[in-house]
Amino acid sequence: MIACSTVAVFTTVGIVVSLLLEAIRFFKSVPVSDFLFGLVWSPQTAIRPDQIGSSGSFGAVPLLAGTFLISAIAMSIATPVGLFSAIFLAEYATPRIRAIVKPALEILAGIPTVVYGFFAALVVAPLLRNTGEAVGFDISSESALAAGLVMGVMIIPFVSSLSDDVITAVPQNLREGSYGLGATKSETIRNIILPAALPGIVGSLLLGTSRAIGETMIVVMAAGLSARLTANPFESVTTITVQIVTLLTGDQEFDSPKTLSAFALGLLLFLVTLILNVIALQVVKKYRVKYD
Partner 1 sequence: MTDQNINKNIQAGLKRRYRSEYRFRGYGLLAIGLALSFLIAIFVSIASMGWSAFQQTAIELEIYFDPAVIDPTGSHDPQDISGADYRGLVKASLRRQFPAVRNRREKKQLYRLVSSGSGFNLREKVQKDLGLIGQTRKIWVLASDDVDMHNKGRDVGARLSTYQIDIINKMSEAGIIKKRFNTRFFTSGDSREPELAGILAAFMGSLFSLTVCIALSFPLGILTAIYLEEFAPKNRWTDLIEVNINNLAAVPSIVFGLLGLFFLLNILEMPRSAPLVGGLVLALMTLPTIIIAGRAALKSVPGSIREAALGIGASPIQAVFHHSLPLAMPGMLTGSIIGMAQALGETAPLLMIGMVAFIVDVPQTVLDPATALPVQIFLWADSPERGFEEKTAAAILVLLGFLFCMNLLAVVLRKKFERRW
Helix (H, G, I), strand (E, B) or coil at 224: coil
For residues 156 and 81, give the distance between their C-alpha atoms in angstroms, rounded to a whole number: 7
- Binding segment (CB under 8 A) for partner 1, from list 35-43, 140-148, 197-205, 208-216: 208-216
185 binds partner 1 (CB under 8 A): yes
**39: closest CA among 228, 196, 179?**
228
Q: How far is the CB of 49 from partner 1 (least distance, A)?
A: 26
First to last CA, the chain: 32
- The residue within the footprint of partner 1, chosen from 160, 161, 209, 261 (CB under 8 A), is 160
Decide: 66 and 238 in contact? Cβ < 8 Å: yes
11 binds partner 1 (CB under 8 A): yes
Helix (H) or strand (E) holding 58: strand 57-58
Kindly report the number of other CB atoms within 10 A of residue 93's CB atom.
16
- Binding segment (CB under 8 A) for partner 1, from list 64-72, 84-92, 129-137, 164-172: 84-92
Whole-angstrom CA distances from 93 to 24, 88, 102, 191 are 54, 6, 10, 20
164 binds partner 1 (CB under 8 A): no
- Binding segment (CB under 8 A) for partner 1, from list 36-44, 58-66, 109-117, 130-138: 109-117
- Binding segment (CB under 8 A) for partner 1, from list 52-60, 131-139, 172-180, 245-253: 245-253
Q: Residues with Cβ < 8 Å from 256, sequence gap 6 or more?
A: 45
- The residue within the footprint of partner 1, chosen from 48, 49, 50, 254 (CB under 8 A), is 254
244 binds partner 1 (CB under 8 A): yes
80 binds partner 1 (CB under 8 A): yes
- Torsion angle in degrees (nearest 10) through CA of 225, 228, 229, 235: -90
Decide whether 190 or 231 has the Cβ nearer to partner 1.
190
- Provide the mask over 28-67, with x wherever binding to partner 1 is found by CB under 8 A and - wherever it is not: ----------------------------------------
- Binding segment (CB under 8 A) for partner 1, from list 33-41, 57-65, 194-202, 215-223: 215-223
Decide whether 98 or 228 has the Cβ nearer to partner 1.
98
12 binds partner 1 (CB under 8 A): yes
- The residue within the footprint of partner 1, chosen from 71, 161, 178, 210 (CB under 8 A), is 210
Query: What single string gives the DSSP state of each residue in 157-182?
Result: HHHHHHHHHHHHTS-HHHHHHHHHTT
For residues 132 and 142, give the distance between their C-alpha atoms in angstroms, rounded to a whole number: 13
With left for phi above 0 and alpha for psi between -120 and 50, is residue 184 left, alpha or beta?
beta
Write out the binding residues for partner 1, residues 262-291 only, by CB under 8 A.
Answer: 262-263, 266, 269-270, 273-274, 277-278, 281
